Amino acid sequence: MTATTDGTAGSGLSGTEHTDREPPGTDAPGPESLTALAERTTARAVDHLLGRQCDEGWWKGDLETNVTMDAEDLLLREFLGIRDERLLRAAARFIRAQQRKDGTWATFHGGPGDLSATVEAYVALRLAGDEPEAPHMALASAWVRERGGVAGARVFTRIWLALFGWWRWDDLPEMPPELIYLPKWFPLNIYDFGCWARQTIVPLTVVSALRPVQPAPFRLDELHRDPARPSPPTAVQLPTSWDGAFQWLDRGLRAYRKVAVGPLRRAALKDASRWIIERQENDGCWGGIQPPAVYSLIALKLLGYDLDHPVMRAGLESLDRFAVWPDEETRMVEACQSPVWDTCLVSIALADAGLPGDHPALVKAADWMLSEQIVRPGDWSVRRPQLPPGGWAFEFHNDNYPDIDDTAEVALALRRVEHPEPERVDSAVRRAVRWNLGMQSNDGAWGAFDVDNTSKFPNLLPFCDFGEVIDPPSADVTAHVLEMLAAEGKQAEPRARKAISWLLAEQESNGAWFGRWGVNYLYGTGAVVPALVAAGIPASHPAVRRAVSWVESVQNDDGGWGEDLRSYIDADWVANGTSTPSQTGWALMALLAAGERDSKAVERGVVWLAEQQREDGYWDEPFFTGTGFPWDFSINYHLYRMVFPLTALGRYLHGDGLGHLAARSA
């Protein structure tokens, strides 16, 4: 290995130099100069990533979402009586810094003000001592009132307010704990919900049943249009539509609540607590994500678990590990942590960039990934009880909920490593392939966590007014699984062919594919085209040519690609946005897989990436290009700006990294 100027381990890639590059001139570079430019850019990125690897072998970038995570963390501590003044000041400092000029808070960089986020941020700052008369607070409260006040906020925001008496429990939808008893074949049983919703709803049924109120330290009259009547009456609908039917269902549950004080309610609360505790992970968290953790802690506290109980103590300690301190006075809370996802993507990027397969960094990463494979059943086995485990989760600890996407990408990453114990890799990948194949939905595609999690009823419930609560198959996850199957030489098998047919049928009329877990059509198309080509669909196929035409047509004038999150709700934003490194990487990955290496679009994209790279090999990317729920919950993965540009540049220089995999598996 070579040494970089900052002392980190270098890549040792041949034909690269660690010298400052001159910006390309106005004339388009020729093939040799473009290659040299790509090599220098690639080498810098490789060295940057090698310098960020943890001693245990993993990589993890910050996972940035929005200030509701920070606000709810403070509200939880206030409710539990564990207020920490240092944390409060540091969180408030971060929240203030995220406020927009109009007084609001958005859910993604450059996005519009969001009512629920603004309400929660405002309340958090009130807890921190910011007075309502302060200019930044008055601006926020006026905006909230103009949008209808707290009454217009999502149900989960109003639940937080109800915990302190700022909202009436009677003005919230019913969530009975008896829901846990519905059999898995019955509509609206807990396994009809996506795993993230399931983990949140079960503890919330406990909270809803017990309706606690912790006396608030102040009033919030300034957030209501009419403080004397904060909740306007809801028009009663006839049960002739689904919305009307579920409104009447909620009325029925309210009537049931008046008599639900007997043995069944007590048993349901007890069994809900058992369900929650059984799903606590080894690190104390629930599902590796923040929302189920905070609601589980509240539910268990209400059921009599004191803060010194091992379950509670471990849960609170796990939340501290979600905190990122940019400096000693500022604290940001991550909604989740992504080490498995980051590590497999970085490994793929480094290998495709030309790092030798036996490089110590890749071997160390492979060892860590191998140690993280999940070998026990989780909630997914409710639908697939006979399927042996073998997946990977997204987080450090989340054995109950491995996900199909991570499993596919980890398998692809492991196959790029020349491990000293190849039989370990072979065994792990075989388990992964078997598990992913067993999680295929009936239509031939894959969701993220569950099989055939497609019921339309959960989204119609009155309390499900925020984000996706089901986990239907998506093009991006299906593409990653198909790419894994192709790498294992299984592209001609019936289940792979069924997936190909599903993907071809899902192509939009403009030639793109919808992106469920990344923004948006650029992500979907950047995943699907490489997978189809790897699975044997020729680059001349009409679907591939339509995709190429679309990608080329939406390239920005500066040579990059970008897409705003508003594309999920407004067609005018499809592939419309400021150029970003990650989205430019996705576009290039699609074009390169389709055989467009020498095209003008690829040339301009490579030059754009080179021009935007910092001298330390990093790319800046304030825009959010990941999603938890399309539009409703957005994510800025801080390593996306590194791994996808590097993967694209590596494939520009060396090919797609898949040829040797197919040969090895044959």
Distance of CA 315 to the CA centre of its chain: 21
Three-class DSSP category at 331:
strand
**Distance (Å, rounded) from C-alpha 347 to C-alpha 310?**
37
Tell the residue number behind the tokens 């890549």, with chain if given: 11
Q: Which of 405, 471, 476, 564 is catalytic?
A: 405
What are 211-216's contacts with CB under 8 Å, separation 24+? Answer: 211/162, 211/169, 212/163, 212/298, 212/302, 213/162, 213/163, 213/164, 213/165, 213/169, 214/78, 214/79, 214/163, 214/164, 214/165, 215/164, 215/165, 216/164, 216/165, 216/166
Is residue 405 part of the annotated active site? The answer reads yes
Three-class DSSP category at 631:
coil
**For the chain, how many residues are written?**
666
Phi-psi region of 562 (alpha: psi -120 to 50; beta: other; left: phi over 0): beta
C-beta of residue 562 within 8 angstroms of C-beta of residue 641: no
Q: Give the strand pairing for 633-637 and 626-629.
A: antiparallel
The dihedrals phi and psi of 3, each to the nearest 5 degrees, come to: -110, 135
Distance of CA 550 to the CA centre of its chain: 26
Helix ranges (H only) for 384-510 are 404-414, 422-438, 475-487, 494-506
Three-class DSSP category at 266:
helix
> What are the catalytic residues?
405
